[in-house]
A and B are shown apart, each in its own frame.
Chain A
């Protein structure tokens, strides 16, 4: 197992230096870790030693975004502002590649070590992020164990069956194509991603007409969001409603799909069950 991990560890190290800028690598395990990104929040919660993780972002406590909203209650919440983070006196800050650049720059300027994690674009990225997080937190054994559980579960769920197609459809007609985590989840569950077959790379809009013409076997939509918006109006378009009655359709719990954490396998499992129900 350790042999399998090594190459990705090197890649993770390289990433750490490339993305985090030049700061001296801590020789001892970080004692006070603050996370200001939803995905690093969740990974840190899973891997950190007791008392190591001092604070996580408010998104981690939001059940609409976070798969670990329950666990998040036990932590102190921060809102990602540089001043707030600095006053928590951390020796390591975990952020996303797209966290507010002004905030990240400010934190580095006051002498804090900030490690940024990129967005996961595949299941492989997810494994790499687990490994890197374990290494950054100096919790390599916990990391290894988590990865081996991840691999085992994925092997059990993975299917080569591609007879059925699925489409993700979000407000404003947003869908996710090749090179996204959602795409990886669909393919791991043995479903063909309609957006990918229509040529979409990354995230983007798919015209309702093309969705209808593609006639997916499974239509996957997210739960409606708080407040109201006009963007969600397309979700109740009659053409989409007609599609829903003709196909099997399901709502997903978005939190599992957003971040590259072991929770993506929960999403894969839900899809596998749905796919098997299509037979």
Chain B
């Protein structure tokens, strides 16, 4: 476990620095980093401090949030196919955020937007847990998740459709695909408290998730308070994913792919996957965000497109493997 932790941390650190140095402004890597550290006035420090830094920070924060909540959900549901996007949490959070923006609530107070996204995420998670139950079988879970995602997406489209603002129609792309372009430090401060609180809550679930390997009955008999675990999971996931979506839109597949990739490396123990997924998720989102700026910079490629291009084939592979195992 030690070498893995060090490797992942180093990877995140490297990607963070690379993320700071990539962008359309054409600032050299050394100049850029110097401008960031030394500060001062002028266009270069401004770009580094106000545009590149928040973007890199948000890459880490959002990746960590998605990775951790994906790992926690998979651990609790005892299903490697679970992820916040699949079970409709991202879609519900996006709906909450869109409602806050288009009813003008977001303009009233700064906290209204992330709180609304949080409320949406919480509602979505509660619905899926009620519908599918803790062990409702993979098919039930996936179907319920698809239903909730579809419902949230259609309601989001409805709100945007009825909006008097001409940009509303194109915003659906942002909420469905996600992007970190032009985020500012305001977004960082907005999301950070919620993500830290949610993350702290989810990281306490390690032992409980390990015990759940034996099934709910045995775990409960060993002293696990199932109701408390469930509540912590719901609140923690809602906080982290709600904040992430409020800031960057829905970014899929990170919560699915990262725990899955790391599982063999940590001996499949849910508690270890929690920590590993924090780092792995950060690395994945940073890498995707760097790719978005390098691959087709003028075409405004969405972050979610890249994560989906990697994630969807992997997801298909997962289903194929599960099917093969059950056959």
Interface residues in chain A, defined as those with a beta carbon under 8 Å from any beta carbon in chain B: 171-173, 204-205, 207-210, 212-213, 215, 225-234, 237-239, 242-243
User: Contact: A228 with B106, CB < 8 Å?
Assistant: yes
User: Contact: B170 with A172, CB < 8 Å?
Assistant: yes
> A207-B24, A225-B166, A231-B171 are known contacts. Are A173 and B182 too (CB-CB below 8 A)?
yes
> A208-B182, A209-B24, A213-B26 are known contacts. Are A229 and B101 too (CB-CB below 8 A)?
yes
User: Contact: A212 with B165, CB < 8 Å?
Assistant: no
Which A residues lie within 8 Å of B168 (CB)?
227, 229
Identify B43's interface contact among A215, A229, A231, CB under 8 A. A215
Q: Would you call B104 an interface residue if the criterion is a C-beta within 8 Å of the partner chain's C-beta atoms? A: yes
Sampled A-B contacts (11; CB under 8 Å): A204-B298, A208-B182, A209-B24, A210-B26, A227-B165, A229-B102, A229-B171, A230-B101, A234-B182, A237-B51, A243-B46
Q: Mark B130-165, 1 if CB is under 8 A from A, else 0.
A: 000000000000000000000000000000000111
CB-CB contacts below 8 Å: B1-42 with A: 23-27
Report the Cα distance A144→B50, complex, angstroms: 53
Q: Would you call B226 an interface residue if the criterion is a C-beta within 8 Å of the partner chain's C-beta atoms? A: no
Which A residues lie within 8 Å of B186 (CB)?
238
Which A residues lie within 8 Å of B170 (CB)?
172, 231
User: What class of interface size applies to chain B in its complex with A?
Assistant: 20 to 34
Report the Cα distance A242→B46, complex, angstroms: 8
Q: Smallest Cβ distance from A227 to chain B, in angstroms?
A: 4
Interface residues in chain B, defined as those with a beta carbon under 8 Å from any beta carbon in chain A: 23-27, 43-44, 46-47, 50-52, 101-102, 104, 106-107, 163-168, 170-171, 174, 181-182, 184-186, 297-298, 300
User: Contact: B166 with A237, CB < 8 Å?
Assistant: no
Identify B47's interface contact among A205, A212, A228, A230, CB under 8 A. A212
> A205-B300, A212-B51, A239-B46 are known contacts. Are A229 and B167 too (CB-CB below 8 A)?
yes
Report the Cα distance A226→B162, complex, angstroms: 13
Report the Cα distance A233→B184, complex, angstroms: 10
Closest to A231 in B: B167
Report the Cα distance A209→B297, complex, angstroms: 12
Q: Smallest Cβ distance from B304 to chain A, in angstroms?
A: 15
Q: Smallest Cβ distance from A1 to chain B, in angstroms?
A: 40
Given A213-B27, A228-B104, A233-B182, 17 new contacts (CB under 8 A): A173-B181, A204-B298, A207-B23, A209-B52, A212-B43, A212-B46, A212-B51, A213-B25, A226-B164, A227-B163, A228-B106, A228-B163, A229-B163, A230-B101, A230-B171, A234-B182, A242-B50
Q: Smallest Cβ distance from A207 to chain B, in angstroms?
A: 4
Which A residues lie within 8 Å of B47 (CB)?
209, 212-213, 239
Identify B51's interface contact among A205, A230, A231, A239, CB under 8 A. A239
Report the Cα distance A110→B237, complex, angstroms: 59
User: Contact: A210 with B25, CB < 8 Å?
Assistant: yes
User: Contact: B23 with A209, CB < 8 Å?
Assistant: yes
Report the Cα distance A234→B46, complex, angstroms: 15
Report the Cα distance A239→B44, complex, angstroms: 11
Report the Cα distance A208→B183, complex, angstroms: 10
Closest to B168 in A: A229
Which A residues lie within 8 Å of B46 (CB)?
212, 239, 242-243
> A212-B25, A234-B182 are known contacts. Are A228 and B43 too (CB-CB below 8 A)?
no
Which A residues lie within 8 Å of B163 (CB)?
227-229
User: Contact: B50 with A229, CB < 8 Å?
Assistant: no
Identify B102's interface contact among A172, A204, A228, A242, CB under 8 A. A228
Report the Cα distance A171→B106, complex, angstroms: 17
Which B residues lie within 8 Å of A231 (CB)?
167, 170-171
